Every structure is written in structure tokens, then in C-alpha cells.
Amino acid sequence: MLRMSAHFNFFQLKSVCSHLFTCVALCASLSMEKPLCAQIIFAQPVAAAEAITVGDVGTSPHKMPGFSISVDEKKLNLLDDYERYIRHQMWEKALSTLKELAETKSTSPLLPTTDGFLVDAEHRIWLAITSLPAEGREAFRLFFDGKANKQFEEISSESGFFDPKVISKAKNIYSQYFLTSVGDDVAELLGNDAFERGEFALAAHYWKSILDHHPDSNLPEIDLNVKLALALIRSHQLELADANIQLIAQQFPDKKIMMGGRSIDPVSYLQSLITEKPVKSRNSVEQPDTSFALLKQSVNLQQTKSKPKWKLSFLDKSVVQAIMNSQSNYYGRRKSYITFVPPMAVDSKRAYFNFYGVCFGVDLQSGKLVWRNSKFQTLGTHFNNYSFHQSTCLQQYHISVSSDYVLATMIPQKEMNHYRARYRLMAYHKETGKELWTSNIGNESFISKPLVDGDHIYIISHTQNNKLLTLNSLSLKTGKKEWSIPLGTVVAGTSSSGMPLMPVPILQKKGDNLLVLTNNGALFEIAIPSKTVNWVFRYPYKASQQNQNYYYAAIKEEIELHTNGQMIRDQGLVYFKEAGANEVFALDLVAKKVIWKRPVKVSAQIVGIDQNNVYLLSKELEAIDRKTHQLNWSVSLPIAAGGLSALIAPKEVLVFTSRGIFEISKTNGDINRIYRGSDLTSLGGAIDFCNDLVICVSNQSVTAYPVASKLSPDNSDTEKSVP
């Protein structure tokens, strides 16, 4: 048998011969009697949606401005060396570097890719291995096959394939020696183990890796495809599962498989599972996307001259006067208190609100105030205190409802006048408003909206005087911490009073994974079962570090409208725009690549999507095509307050403005009609739909309008003129 160095010399010789043959052919062509004619090649222009550059050219994701994430620099340098050796076909050096890379202990769990992502370090090394060319794969097997076979024989001889120690050793073989002859067997073992533990997405990853990278595997291809489709169904990835079922039908027509001791048609069996309610893993409670209202039928409001179903005012006169005073005395103008619209949460019976920490519940049918945790007029004294203006961040007032609990983030009234007061998470009984608990974790201040998942609460916090963001899992019943994950350090802005201005992250859960939009230049996917970061997508973010917001300066539109970041997920894609950013992204979560990005106004906020468009609202409503990312239409609206939102109906979009509810055609952006309503002195605000009621929340009141039946005639007194 040849020595290892002899094999590598053989590979180098093949490469040299290949280059030599090319040179000889070129010389022969140049020595021809006929002169060579110049050829002009016209390259096809690259579509803008395909030529995506995230950040500066050559900038690694972890070095982009904005959210700071640490990486293992030593491993990163070794990885760069490995990829350089691969490009030059220096196989022996490349694989020696790979061995050193695998044996080096990590100081950080993440490593960057070349397309704006940071992924798990072991997975990043695995990607580098699986991207080897054919000659490199052959060299890889020669270099590592013996060691991989020996380790696999050791775990095969141990009792219990699903023993944690065996699985740990199998994962090491998979991450380091996947391209060897035992890589497919190890991947199947890990896939079976993950499926048994209910981690269906992970099982799908292992089985798919065999199909993608081991074409010579002895494992039956149809069995792998069926198991992959089953795992995709269980992990709620139905679009991918359907595509895999079609592949099985095409490549294995009329083929039967054995399952449960009987022969079945895999296509019919898998299709029947898609129509059933998917089985959820033990950690999975599906979260609907409640970031916008997508209606199945048109909304026909009743005559505007008739009274609304009910109306409740919460803006006390003493509070109005205190806000006006604060604008001139305590830099309150820079906060734009007068345009603040309290956040709302709705269940089947009530609507709940958080107005500067005064939380209250309203009956949806009668409009009666069911409970409140404090009197509205008590807020007036706090607006006259400088410490309140230093500590308060209007975007950090949140409210959620789930089960018997109403959860709210706020500065408790007894602490409002404290210097740099913390935002607490407080739980109330939704029927009575009784305070159940207050989460008090060290010196943590909660900054995101709480996301309830079964008996767990997911929420982002940071320690006062510290810019490190932490994802926390709390008990819904007690508010006590169950576990936490540090995410990274933000680039905080500066408020008009010179205090750090923290971003407000957004959380969304689907299956076993949690998406975290930091609003600071990073999008995370967290695996809840393993409590680890799956990946991070980075993009440049600029935060002003200089305090130029003098109290007498003009208010920026994004401050006046209290523009928030937002993300909406649909069909394997996530559309998002951060607060303070001037770009909207469409990101493929499966392929992990940017589909498109488009510049937009800083003050614009995503308020909904439908089959064709992404809708953004500022002082105009814009419809951006989901496929071409071109602007289909835009229309100016009298938007004068926060609570940016819209009702997306089949043929129209409804927006609550300072001049009433505008109905805009989805075809061309024309204003069909205006419902003036009864909240005539407000600045407009948020709009929602629940229990056949259109609920409008302004800067001073909550109003509910009944929806007319389908047979009701069109309202003759609704205005059809453009304002």
C-alpha cells in the first residue's frame, strides 16, 4: 500500500498535468496560421434581486457595524487557512489544518459564513467539509477513513445505540468525518435518535444530509426520503414536506415500503398526515402571527352618523396639561408623548391596554372598564418629574394576554421618579386585574414584549448600565427564571437627556425555534430544546452616538409616529424591517439567503402582507411586490400618531388616521371612502378587528365600531373624496 504522502503526490501530479494540458492546447491554438478573431461577449445583466451584497464587500458578519457577537478568532483563522489550501488544491495541508481545527477548543459557539450569517461552529466546519470538490473528498477519505471506522466500531459495540454517551460520540464523528464511508450510517443513527426525542427538524437535517452528500450510500433511498418527509411534517415544514412527497411519487412510482409490519404506499400515507393536525414536539406550542390582521372578507362599517358600539376615554385632562408642560420644561417634546398610542392585547371577551404603566381591561361587548391597576390622573404628577423623562422609553411599554394572565412591562408607578428606573414584568389576573407577581431578576430591565408559550414566557432583558442582551425563559405561574441565553452586545443610541437608548427586540416562535429580531442589526434563530443559537443573520446598522436631539429641534417622523421594527413570516420566508433602519429584507429561512432587500423610509413600518404585496405605513401607505420588490403603489395619508397598523382585507386596506378610517384599494392605492367615526379630536392610531368589531385605539380613547352584515347596503353618507 502506498504511503499517505504518495497519495497526495499523486493528486498534485494530476492537478499539474491538467494545467499543463490546458497550456499546451492554448499554445497550439496561438500557433495556428489563421489569425484569431476578437470576440465580444455580452453578459446578461444580473437581476437586482439576485445580486445581493449584505454590508460592505468582504466584511465578515461579526465585523459589521451594529450588534456585536463574539467569534472564535483562532478557529476563524484556521478555517481561512483551510479554505485557502482547498482553493490551491493543497490537500495534505488542508486536511492537517482541518484536524487541528476540530481539535481546537472553542471560545465561542459561532463562526461566520460568506453570506452574512453566523452559524454553530461545528456546523460551519461541517459546511466547509461538505463543500470539498471531488478530488478533495477522495483525499478526505484516505486521510480520515481509518480513524472514523475505528470510532464507529467502538460505539457500535457499546450497549444501547440511544445512550447519551454514544450519541455524543456519534455527533463528533458526524461533524468531523461525515464524508468518510461511515458518515451516512452515523447520520442515520443521529436522525433516528433526534426523531425519537421529538426534535423533528434536527432529524430532517441528518437524513437530508445523507441524500445530499452520500449518493453512494447503501441505505435505501426511498426509506430516507420517507423518513425525511415524515420529519418535515412533524416539524410543521409542510411546503418542504409536500415537495419531498412529490419527489417520492416521481422517482419511486408504485413502490411500497414496510411500516409497522405491513406494506403501505408511502405517498398516500404521507399525504394523509399533511391533512391531519400535525403532531407537536414536547416543547412546541404553535404561535400564530398576530403582528397584523389579515381578514377573509371585506369590512363594511355601519353609517358614520350612528354612534359607535362604545367608546372609552383614558386621557385625563390633568395628564394632558402635564404632557404639555413637560414639552417645554423637561424635554418631553423629544419623546412625543402627545402622539403615543397605548399597546393593546385582545382575547375573546376583553381588550387590555398599557398606558404608561396604567393597565386596564375593557369589555368588548359593552365597552365598560372591567378593571385597572391605577387611576389615570395619577400619571400627571410623574410627567412633572425629570427622572421620569430620563428613564422612560415609550417602546418598552408592552402588554400580552394568555390563559388567565395579562402580562405587562412597565416602570411601576412607585418607581417612576427613581433615577434610571428599571422596566419590570408584572402579571395580573385577566378577570379581576389582581396583581399576581412581579418578576425581579437581579438588576435586569425587560425591553421586549413577553411571548407566552404554554407555561413559559420568553422575554429579552439587559442589566442596567450594561448593553448585553439576554433571552430569558420564565415561569408563567411564578415569573421566576428557568434558563437564559446571552445573545450579544447592542450599539445603543442616545436619548435627548443623554441616557442610553436600548433597542426593543421582537420575538416570534414557530415549532421548536424562536426568531429574535434585535432591531440592532441582527436576526437570531434560537433552538429552544437545546437552548442554543442555530444561526444569526447580520446586516449593517447605524446608531447615533451623539446627542444632537435638542428639545427645541424638529421632531423626526419616526419619533412622532413611534415607528417599531416588525417581522412577518410566511411560506418559509421572513419579511422584516428594523426600527431606525432604511431597508426592508426578504429572507429565505430554509436556504439561509437574502431573496431581496429594498430601501424604504426610516419612519416606515411593516403592517401586513398578502399574496402579492408587503405593506408599509408611515405618513403614506406603500405596497411593495413580494416577488419583484418593486413599488406597486403608494398613497399619502393624514397619519399623525403612533400605533402604526392596518386591516388587510381581500380587496382593501383599512387605516385609522387623524381624519377617520381610510379604505384604500389594494389594486391601485386609490382611496375608496373615508369613515369619519366619532373620535374626531384624536390624532388617529391603531386599528384591529375582533368579534365583529373594528377597534380603534387613538392617543386619547378606545372606540369600537360594529361591522355591517354582507347584505347591508353601501353607506350613502360615507365620504368618497380624497382629503
Residue 43 has pLDDT above 70, yes or no: no
Residue 86 has pLDDT above 60, yes or no: yes
d(CA 640, CA 238): 41
Sheet holding 671-675, edge to edge: 293-294, 647-648, 652-657, 660-665, 671-675
The better pLDDT of the pair 384, 713 is held by 384
Q: φ, ψ for residue 232 (rounded to 5)?
A: -65, -40
Residue 180 has pLDDT above 80, yes or no: yes
Residue 296 has pLDDT above 80, yes or no: no
Closest to 405 measured CA to CA, from 442, 447, 451, 369: 451
Tell me, which fold does domain 59-111+120-275 have in CATH? 1.25.40
Q: Which of 12-21, 67-76, 556-565 has the lowest mean pLDDT?
A: 12-21
Q: φ, ψ for residue 173 (rounded to 5)?
A: -65, -40
Grid cell, residue 317, equals 385632562
d(CA 277, CA 300): 33
The percent of residues above 90 in pLDDT, for the chain, comes to 48
Domain boundaries, the chain: 59-111+120-275, 293-706
Contacts of 637 (CB under 8 A, 6+ apart): 617, 619, 620, 621, 655, 657, 662
Question: Sorting pLDDT into bands at 50, 70 and 90, what band is 553?
Answer: low
The better pLDDT of the pair 273, 427 is held by 427
Burial code (b: 16+ CB inside 10 Å, e: under 16) for 64-95 equals bbbbbbebbeebbebbebbeebbeebbbbebb
Residue 44 has pLDDT above 60, yes or no: no
Q: Which of 344-348, 541-545, 709-713 has the lowest mean pLDDT?
A: 709-713
Question: Sorting pLDDT into bands at 50, 70 and 90, what band is 14?
Answer: very low
Question: Sorting pLDDT into bands at 50, 70 and 90, what band is 709?
Answer: low
**pLDDT tens digits, residue range 350-361?**
999 999 999 999
Residue 528 has pLDDT above 70, yes or no: yes
Question: Residue 118 belongs to what H/E stretch?
Answer: strand 117-120
pLDDT for res 638: 97
d(CA 155, CA 437): 49
Q: Which of 49-53, 99-103, 237-241, 315-319 has the lowest mean pLDDT?
A: 49-53
Average pLDDT over residues 61-70: 76
**pLDDT tens digits, residue range 400-421?**
999 899 999 999 888 887 777 8
Q: Using DSSP, state whether 437 is helix, strand or coil.
A: strand
- Hey, what amino acid is at 171? K
Average pLDDT over residues 377-392: 77
Burial of 56 (0-12, 13-18, 19+ CB in 10 A): exposed
Q: What is the mean pLDDT of the chain?
A: 82
pLDDT for res 304: 53
Question: Sorting pLDDT into bands at 50, 70 and 90, what band is 389?
Answer: confident
pLDDT for res 560: 92
pTM (two decimals) = 0.78
pLDDT for res 124: 85
Neighbours of 427 (CB within 10 A): 23
**pLDDT tens digits, residue range 135-151?**
999 999 998 999 999 99
**pLDDT tens digits, residue range 595-646?**
999 999 999 999 999 989 999 999 999 999 999 999 999 999 999 999 999 9
Instruction: Please tell me the class of the 293-706 domain.
Output: mainly beta
Contacts of 554 (CB under 8 A, 6+ apart): none
Average pLDDT over residues 674-696: 92
Residue 271 has pLDDT above 60, yes or no: yes
For 90, 421, 458, 492, 507, the CA distances from 443, given in Å and listed in that order, are 53, 10, 18, 18, 22
Average pLDDT over residues 178-187: 94
Strand 647-648 to 293-294 pairing? parallel
Question: Sorting pLDDT into bands at 50, 70 and 90, what band is 125?
Answer: confident
pLDDT for res 420: 78
Q: Using DSSP, state whether 643 is helix, strand or coil.
A: coil
d(CA 591, CA 598): 20
Q: Which of 83-97, 118-132, 451-465, 691-705 has the lowest mean pLDDT?
A: 118-132
pLDDT for res 552: 60
**pLDDT tens digits, residue range 437-459?**
999 888 899 999 999 999 999 99
Residue 519 has pLDDT above 50, yes or no: yes
Question: Sorting pLDDT into bands at 50, 70 and 90, what band is 720?
Answer: very low
pLDDT for res 525: 94
Alpha helices in 517-636 (DSSP H): 557-560
Question: Sorting pLDDT into bands at 50, 70 and 90, what band is 284?
Answer: very low
The better pLDDT of the pair 580, 51 is held by 580
For 108, 503, 646, the CA distances from 563, given in Å and listed in that order, are 34, 12, 14
Q: Which of 97-111, 129-143, 282-296, 584-598 has the lowest mean pLDDT?
A: 282-296
